[in-house]
Structure 1
Amino acid sequence: MEKIYKLPGNCMTTAMGILPHDQVEEAMKLALGVDIPFWPQLPHAGFYEDMYVQITDNFPGIRIDEGEQRILFDTAEFYRELDSYVENFDNDDYFRIQGRYSAVYRNFLENPGIKKYPLIRGQSIGPISFGLKITDENRKPIIYNDEIRFFLYEFMSRKINVQYREISEVNPNSFVWIDEPGLSFIFGSFTGYPAEKAGKDYRDFLSLIEGPKGIHLCGNPDWSFLLETLDLDILSVDIFSNGNIFVRYVDQIKAFLEKGGIISWGIVPTLTEEYVQESADTLISHLEGLWNYLDSRGISIETVVRQAWLAPARCCLVNLDGTATVTKAFDVLRRVSEYFKKKYNLE
């Protein structure tokens, strides 16, 4: 079993990495306003801020078409450029997030205020999601090419580990969670990537990751696989949409919490149509209902809250009001967190 990190829970707040802002200062203010801050990804500020693009720097065979906003991959170029990767395998600079690949990352690392937080966080798109989205010259997702897939997992782990080391130099209490929307459907028979093989590959990938291991996704995947099989330290879930399904996995949740795992309960909606129908009170009631269900089946609420983080349900880039709903959602998140911290005497 992989090492499990003892992380503080106590209904601290954090959030997914993607924000709808196009101004760095405004986005940073929001990202630093939670208990566990993060460097935000800002695709509205430019194509290179997109989480899929950010990971591509020095990936063999990749070309970025900024005008068409496309990531292009060529298999022949991939093999031609592999030598450069091999030569730089032990060169951390080769794997850093640099220059135009994020206007925010260096800003975050150079902010002296992040040293005071109990935890800080980075994030990266994961290999499953990237490998399913990026296609070769024949429009075939690269994850279906056995050789490229092996490289993909290795390359991603190097990128994530270099980011983790950089963040840890600023605040030793840090981690990088992996954004994996693709895990919602990779285990379906229609994907062409056998579930058993995908599961083993992902376990092997996580074994390469340094520091606390966390996964964030907004969909409804195989929760048993995530809770039981991967030896995760952190699992971030869209509870607003999927909570009633998630809490049915009582035995798996219990085992996950018993080994010290943290669940980030994404409870506050960020889509305007959903947000306007809720309030801090209704969201508190919703979350307490889920926790009461777990309590009735042998997982005490005290255990849950002490190993809980609270977050917005998901990122949202499509609201007609720009950043307004998301900003208000962060305010509601703070009120929900304050309620539970006070109720359960949390530090």
Structure 2
Amino acid sequence: MRSNIPGNLLTTAMAVMPHTNVTRALDMALSMDVPFWPQLPNFSYTEDMYVQAAEHFPGIVLDMEKRTLRFSMDKFAEELEATLLQFDDPVYFDVSETYSAVYHRFLALDLENRPAIRGQLEGPISFGFNIIDQDDRPIIFDDTVRPFMLDFMAKRINVQLARLKRRNDNAFMFVDEPGLQFLFSAMAGYSDLKAKGDLDRFFAQVDRPRGIHLCGNPDWDFLLNLDLDVLSLDVYTNAEVFASYAASIRKFLDRGGVIVWGIVPTGFETFAQEEIPSLIQRLENVWRILWSKGIDREQMFAKSMLSPATCCLINPDKERTVERAFKAVNQMAIQLRDNYLR
């Protein structure tokens, strides 16, 4: 596994943002070393990450007025053949202007001289858990729909990545998978063994560089052993747990994997409790544990980026805390690069 994803403590961020001003959101995304196109569900329901992923998916029942996204098996059967006929059409599988106010504006920018750029799409596991059929059952349990869903999402990711690579040779993709943390609960009803097989099938079709972003706490051994180029996580919340997986982290880094350390909280109350020195200390505590367990410092920094810890759509000050968190990530990166890379 080798990729052109940069490390050396450069900054990026998750795409879901609370903004209703498209230009302001794009400016914030461009303030990071590795920019991305924002997803703005407060601006429009079509900007919701599940709704965006559902564009052209057969069987989808979208109600913009009620802001609901459901699935109909009868509608799926009616639309499947027409969708299969479109599988060689990249325009059909791309994110349309109707479903993103900012994606096509982002692609129109001069992004060639950035260290990299990034896109994203909701992953199949989370999509399958979240989309409910006419019997109130997640579609991930349907043995007819699930294989098609894996192929459909892989196609959409590849089309987007190809467009991004035309703007920057080092473009890469996040597959957003918040649902992975539920795989290991007794309530999931979808085993980690089945998920591993499905994700192997999925990633076998997905072009590199590709990785997973999630804010939850899954089985890190499971995740670190998937065929990924990058893993983006909320280390602010999951620091102690993640640090206990040093052996798998070392193998991931040895394969060329990049870790995006999500360290700055974006929630109003949590952010107010922290300062940049306390956040640096929190991150360094994790790093020291890993170094003590044999992780090579230089290798780790060469394969590390920094980001906010999570997305946050609801704060009493609306966009301001999120924007302050973006600024804090960039300030932390400057200080940490001074401390460790010079």
Corresponding residue of 2:105: 107
Corresponding residue of 1:316: 312
Range that drifts further, 260-269 or 93-102 = 93-102
SS of the aligned residue for 2:42 comes to helix
What do the CA deviations read for 1:47-68 (whole angstroms, capped 9, x no partner)? Answer: 0011100111211111210000
Q: Which of 302, 306, 313 is the aligned partner of 1:306?
A: 302
Q: Which of 137, 140, 145 is the aligned partner of 2:142?
A: 145
SS of the aligned residue for 1:265 comes to strand
Number of equivalenced pairs: 342
Range that drifts further, 298-307 or 92-101 = 298-307
**Paired residues of 1:63 and 1:71 also in contact (CA < 8 A):** yes
Q: Distance in 1 between matches of 2:333 and 2:321?
A: 18
**Paired residues of 2:97 and 2:103 also in contact (CA < 8 A):** no
Corresponding residue of 2:279: 283
Quote the sequence identity (%): 44
Return structure 1 stretches of 4+ with deviation > 3 angstroms: none
**Paired residues of 1:267 and 1:310 also in contact (CA < 8 A):** yes
Task: Quote how far apart the aligned CAs of 1:311 are.
Answer: 0.3
Give the counterpart letter for 1:83 in structure 2.
Answer: E
**Paired residues of 2:4 and 2:170 also in contact (CA < 8 A):** no
1:84 counterpart = 2:82: yes
Q: Which of 30, 41, 44 is the aligned partner of 1:43?
A: 41
Give the counterpart letter for 1:180 in structure 2.
Answer: E
1:65 counterpart = 2:63: yes
Q: Which of 205, 215, 237 is the aligned partner of 1:218?
A: 215
Task: Quote how far apart the aligned CAs of 1:8 are.
Answer: 2.3
SS of the aligned residue for 1:122 comes to strand
Corresponding residue of 2:10: 12
Q: Distance in 2 between matches of 1:339 and 1:222?
A: 32
What do the CA deviations read for 1:110-150 (whole angstroms, capped 9, x no partner)? Answer: 012x2210100000110111110110011000000011001
Give the counterpart letter for 1:246 in structure 2.
Answer: F
What do the CA deviations read for 1:244-276 (whole angstroms, capped 9, x no partner)? Answer: 100100100111111111000000000011000
Corresponding residue of 1:341: 337
Q: Distance in 1 between matches of 2:90 and 2:335?
A: 43
What do the CA deviations read for 1:79-120 (whole angstroms, capped 9, x no partner)? Answer: 1111111211111111011121000000000012x2210100
Corresponding residue of 1:135: 132
Q: Which runs of 5+ in 1 are unaligned?
A: none
**Paired residues of 1:189 and 1:195 also in contact (CA < 8 A):** no
Corresponding residue of 1:194: 191
Q: Distance in 2 between matches of 1:81 and 1:208?
A: 23
Q: Distance in 2 between matches of 1:333 and 1:12?
A: 9
Corresponding residue of 2:173: 176
Task: Quote how far apart the aligned CAs of 1:300 are.
Answer: 2.8
Corresponding residue of 2:288: 292
Q: Which runs of 5+ in 2 are unaligned?
A: none
**Paired residues of 2:9 and 2:333 also in contact (CA < 8 A):** yes
**Paired residues of 2:261 and 2:307 also in contact (CA < 8 A):** yes
Give the alignment's TM-score, normalised by structure 2: 0.98
Give the alignment's TM-score, normalised by structure 1: 0.97
SS of the aligned residue for 1:154 comes to helix
